[in-house]
């Protein structure tokens, strides 16, 4: 995408030396780059370096007397198509998560309407610290995109997650110049929970933040697909290029999915759909009595089974959220519902699953298994979409249902 305008924020980490190479790679891909440096970043690399490689003045101060009306942060915020912060230190992530605007870079991030992308870089213990994890999850919840971090040896001598991704990887992810293997494909995705009303106040439902499904929708759209996202009640920003349709109950989600499934190439059922709903919905709030309360439940329609049963239907990918016997239960669901693929993940853990930014996925199909590993939901979504694309395009990968049945 030539002509893309990128504000590159550089913060005070040792990985700042890589950001000069990142500027060059972004420009080679057709971007115009303007650099904003924090005071800490200037301790590692001089502004003159970035001015030389970018061909533009480097911005370092909040109150810029040379900017129009002295409001350089507003000019940069309006100018940018994307704001990329690489490296993004633990300190910067903390300040951004808590809404501070105490320097030029944080102010630009708060003032821009452009997508915000962070490339974290820090010691592995800092990355794993509960405070950093909470800040990361809050930023992800607000729609900030995280690229990395990678794993490997670090400047401090330790080994583990926390390395900034290589400039080539970041440039490819931000510019979107990589091959779009799902161009021309229609992808239908469900995300979030469903709520089954008991009365006008109470409901039953499953726990789900919707983050994994939204990440899959974003990854599919970036891969070139035409994406329709059927979302349960969640408070998440709609990914760019995605057609979102909001629903509340399992029956509403079923109706929307079945109306669109016949024309889809792929269906990915990420939503945590309630298996049951109250047999009767009270018209008024049920008052608390002195004794217990019995609720009659009836079965909801099985969305993914109905999609998989369609004649000439889409390639169907399910999710299995399990608290025990992960692979055993996932394989049972794969076979029983006649799915093409299933992504199995453990839930009930503090570090992965519900309402956190990370997950761990085992991808299964027939006799094939492929661990996608542990990482951010955005990273795993990209890996999953890559695998699905390989099946659609007939490349090497896990067998599809049609191969199993032959």
- Residue 350: the pLDDT is 59
The CA-based dihedral angle spanning residues 141, 144, 149, 155, taken in that order and rounded to the nearest 10 degrees: -110
Last residue of one domain, picked from the residues 128, 149, 175: 175
Query: In this structure, is the dihedral angle defined by the CA atoms of residues 348, 230, 308 and 220, taken in order, positive or negative?
Result: negative
Task: Indicate whether 162 and 194 sit together in one domain.
Answer: no
Catalytic residues: 156
> Which pLDDT tens digit goes with each residue over 91-132?
999 999 999 999 999 999 999 999 999 999 999 899 989 999
CATH number, position 217: 3.40.50.10300
- Residue 395: the pLDDT is 52
- Does residue 180 form part of some domain? no
CA gap 355, 138 in Å, rounded: 10
Query: For the chain, what is the domain count?
Result: 2
CA gap 244, 188 in Å, rounded: 10
- Helices 104-111 and 72-79 cross at an angle (nearest 10°) of 50
Task: Indicate whether 9 and 140 sit together in one domain.
Answer: yes
How crowded is residue 247: how many other Cβ atoms within 10 Å of its Cβ? Answer: 21
Task: Indicate whether 114 and 215 sit together in one domain.
Answer: no
- The helix/strand/coil state of 213 is helix
> Which pLDDT tens digit goes with each residue over 341-364?
999 887 766 555 555 667 788 899
Task: Indicate whether 142 and 230 sit together in one domain.
Answer: no
Burial environment of residue 402 by CB neighbours within 10 A (0 to 12, 13 to 18, 19 or more): exposed
- Does residue 181 form part of some domain? no
Which secondary-structure segment (H or E) carries 341?
A: strand 341-346
Task: Indicate whether 302 and 368 sit together in one domain.
Answer: yes
Range list of β-strands (E), 181-314: 186-191, 195-197, 203-205, 226-231, 242-246, 266-269, 276-278, 297-299
Residue 247 to residues 110, 303, 318, 354, Cα–Cα distance (Å): 31, 14, 19, 20
Whether the pTM exceeds 0.85: the reply is no
CA gap 196, 273 in Å, rounded: 10
The residue range of the domain holding 205 is 186-405
> Which pLDDT tens digit goes with each residue over 10-21?
999 999 999 999
CA gap 222, 381 in Å, rounded: 11
Largest CA distance in the chain: 76
Last residue of one domain, picked from the residues 175, 209, 243: 175
């Amino acid at each position: 995408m030539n002509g893309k305008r990128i504000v590159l924020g550089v913060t005070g980490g040792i990985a700042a030396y890589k950001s000069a190479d990142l500027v060059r790679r972004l420009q080679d891909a057709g971007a115009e780059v303007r650099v904003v440096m924090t005071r800490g970043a200037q301790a590692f690399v001089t502004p003159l370096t970035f001015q030389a490689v970018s061909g533009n003045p480097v911005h370092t101060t909040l109150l810029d007397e040379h900017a129009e009306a002295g409001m350089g942060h507003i000019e940069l915020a309006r100018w940018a198509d994307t704001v990329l912060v690489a490296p993004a230190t633990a300190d910067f992530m903390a300040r951004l998560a808590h809404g501070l605007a105490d320097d030029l870079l944080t102010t630009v991030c708060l003032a821009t309407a452009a997508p915000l992308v962070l490339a974290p870089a820090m010691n592995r213990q800092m990355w794993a610290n509960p405070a950093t994890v909470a800040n990361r999850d809050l930023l992800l919840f607000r729609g900030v995109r995280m690229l990395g971090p990678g794993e490997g040896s670090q400047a401090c001598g330790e080994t583990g997650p926390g390395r900034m991704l290589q400039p080539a990887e970041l440039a490819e992810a931000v510019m979107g110049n990589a091959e779009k293997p799902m161009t021309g494909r229609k992808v239908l995705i469900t995300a979030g929970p469903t709520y089954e009303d008991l009365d006008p106040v109470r409901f039953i439902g499953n726990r789900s933040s919707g983050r994994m499904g939204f990440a899959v929708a974003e990854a599919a759209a970036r891969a070139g697909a035409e994406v329709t996202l059927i979302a349960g009640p969640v408070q998440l920003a709609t990914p760019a290029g995605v057609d979102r349709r909001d629903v509340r109950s399992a029956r509403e989600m079923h109706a929307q999915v079945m109306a669109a499934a016949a024309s889809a190439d792929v269906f990915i059922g990420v939503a945590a759909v309630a298996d049951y709903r109250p047999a009767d919905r009270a018209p008024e709030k049920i008052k608390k009595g002195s004794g217990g309360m019995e609720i009659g439940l009836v079965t909801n329609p099985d969305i993914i089974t109905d999609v998989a049963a369609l004649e000439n239907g889409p390639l169907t990918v399910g999710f299995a959220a399990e608290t025990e016997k992960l692979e055993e239960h996932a394989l049972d669901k794969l076979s029983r519902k006649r799915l093409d693929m299933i992504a199995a993940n453990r839930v009930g853990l503090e570090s992965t699953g519900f309402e956190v930014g990370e997950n761990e996925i085992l991808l299964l199909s027939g006799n094939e298994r492929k661990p996608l590993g542990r990482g951010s939901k955005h990273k795993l979504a990209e890996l999953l979409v890559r695998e699905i694309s390989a099946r659609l395009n007939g490349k090497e990968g896990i067998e599809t249902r049609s191969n199993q049945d032959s």
